[in-house]
Amino acid sequence: MTEFKSKMMYKELVDLYEALTSTTKRLEKTAILAEFLKNTEAEILPIVTLLSLGKVFPIWSEKEIGIGLKLLMKAISLVVGVSVDTVEEYVRDKGDIGFAAEALFENRLQSTLFKRPLTIVKVYQNMTRMAEISGKNAQTKKIRVLIELLTSASPAEAKYISRTVVEELRVGIGEGTIKDAVSEAFNVDKEVVERALMLTNDPGLVAEVSKGEGEEGLKKLTLKPGKPVKPMLAQLSHGIGASVEEMGTAICETKYDGFRVQIHKKNDEIKIFTRRLDNIKDAVPEIVEYIEKCLPHEDFIVEGEIIATKDGNPISFQYILQRVRRKYEIERLRNEVPLIMYLFDVLYYKEPLIDLPFGERRVILQKIVKVEPSKFELSNQVIVTPENVEDAEKLFESSIKAGHEGIMIKDPFAPYMPGIRGKKMLKFKAEPETLDLVVVGGTYGRGRRANLIGSYLMAAQDEEGNLKTIAHTATGLDDATLLELSSKVESLMTEKKGRKVKARPEIILEIAYSEIVKSPEYESGYSLRFPVVKRIRDDKSIEDIDTVHRIESIFNA
């Protein structure tokens, strides 16, 4: 384990958390965080940056603390000297494990005679140790390491240790605030910081380089196989003709309705990252086989869409998610629901390629992929200008007929822009737009359905990342999915009053609706008419949900 000299106290970080919680204004949060980062010793700056986001490891790291709410409650009960039931009661009452821990520690009976003040390094090292424990009796060993921390913790420290362990810090800091604060603290350009974040997904590293080497250093950070990059995103096209006209020349491709993946190969190790930057390699063994067969030996990063099929036709991408969720059924699903990979971009081959125009990247992609029909292919595409725009329309029609979602319209001269939803890549779909919203609560049914949460309270996010409710939705799911959703929400429940429950915001649903209307009934000020759940979006994370701003602009349009 790395040796650290820093003696900076964890209490100082806790004071930062409290200060950040005391305001909802993004600018104030940024100033508070910037000041703190500026005064943090260089040695622990990466750790502090991650911890201020409530993380111990970068998002793509496969390391996990591996302590769930249950085990945490047990640790708290042992340290405080109360039953697990009492801890559960507190959690229900306070609606949050952090507040519950704080209150319990305030009323703590057991002696705190041997309390040793906690340093940031100590907290970080114990969290890392927990992640490294596996195998026999792992849980018992992990809980011991956690108890060591909690025994020395003050009530406020216990609150934030608990929240960090379950990865729910609740101080309202997202990547946007980190970007602004790093830029302010070390006097580096915001856009340069943003690009470095998108490329590395490593806020700790970005803060460290900003402090140590400034903008010059940041500019040298580039993508590396093995570490996922934020995907480039698409804006909505309002018409094929107008979009092609605006672009001049466009590469139009079939929009496959599947699961977007970034495939990395480094020194023969293959990783397949989802949009949430999880490595799902083990869930798709046949894709791994084709990667080995159809792609070169050198290091690379390519991107594409995996779709599920039945009798050769595309089917709902939920089938791929099923594999990711229920790992044990992979062999059966592999035969029942064959997958097809469609590659559409290359970001790295022997060297970073993201600054090359898309047209050139595509040529490289074509050179390095050995196509295997109906298994491992390149996205179908046509090059169009306003003169032959009907070729794009034909591609749209044939794509829809073949059961795909629509087309993508891409600028052949554009570089790859990680994490950016810009005008260089557009999507045109047959179906109306939907919203991705997060479940924040629900209501149990009546009578025969009294054991099932039948209606879900959905929320969007505002500019600061605060959740704002917008609708209740009840319909659209088959019985099996409803059952699964209901029990998932139950496992995230933080409060239950009568038939109504509140839940930790983790499950993202794609919602179709007939109309957006103004409504004082919901926190967002808007509501949806006839909202219907289209599917569970396990591939998206809470940062990806739609914003009140977007809802407002759809309403205004």
Binding footprint of ligand ATP on the chain (CB under 6 A): 231, 233-234, 253-256, 260, 305, 344, 379, 408, 427
Sheet with 421-429, edge to edge strand ranges: 233-236, 421-429, 406-410, 250-255, 381-384
Cβ atoms of 140 and 66 within 8 Å: the answer is no
* Shortest Å, Cβ 233 to ligand ATP: 4
Instruction: Report how far residue 369's alpha carbon sits from residue 362's, in angstroms, rounded to the nearest whole number.
Output: 11
Which residue number, 160 or 256, has a Cβ lying nearer to ligand ATP?
A: 256
Tell me which of 255, 424, 427, 429 is the catalytic residue.
Answer: 255
The residue among 204 and 231 lying less far from ligand ATP, judged by its C-beta, is 231
Cβ closest to ligand ATP, residue 169 vs residue 232: 232
Give the separation between CA 395 and CA 392, rounded to whole angstroms. Answer: 5
Q: Nearer to ligand ATP by C-beta: 189 or 433?
A: 433
Cα torsion 100, 103, 108, 113: sign: positive
- We find the least distance from the C-beta atom of residue 537 to ligand ATP, in angstroms, to be 8
Give 352's contacts (C-beta < 8 A, 6+ positions apart): 222, 223
Neighbours of 130 (CB within 10 A): 23
To which H or E segment does residue 529 belong? strand 526-529
Nearest of 139, 135, 141 to residue 66 by alpha carbon: 139
Indicate the burial class of 64 (C-beta count within 10 angstroms; 0-12, 13-18, 19 or more): exposed
For residues 233 and 483, which CB has a smaller minimum distance to ligand ATP in the complex?
A: 233
Closest distance between ligand ATP and the C-beta of residue 342, in Å? Answer: 7
Instruction: Write out the two tokens for 95.
Output: 């609606």
Least distance in angstroms from the C-beta of 382 to ligand ATP: 12
Residue 525 falls in which region: left (phi positive, over 0), alpha (psi -120 to 50) or beta: left
**Smallest distance from ligand ATP to CB 36, Å:** 34
Angle separating helix axes 97-106 and 69-80, nearest 10 degrees: 10
Between residues 234 and 501, which has the closer beta carbon with respect to ligand ATP?
234
- For residue 255, indicate whether it is catalytic: yes
Catalytic residue numbers read 255
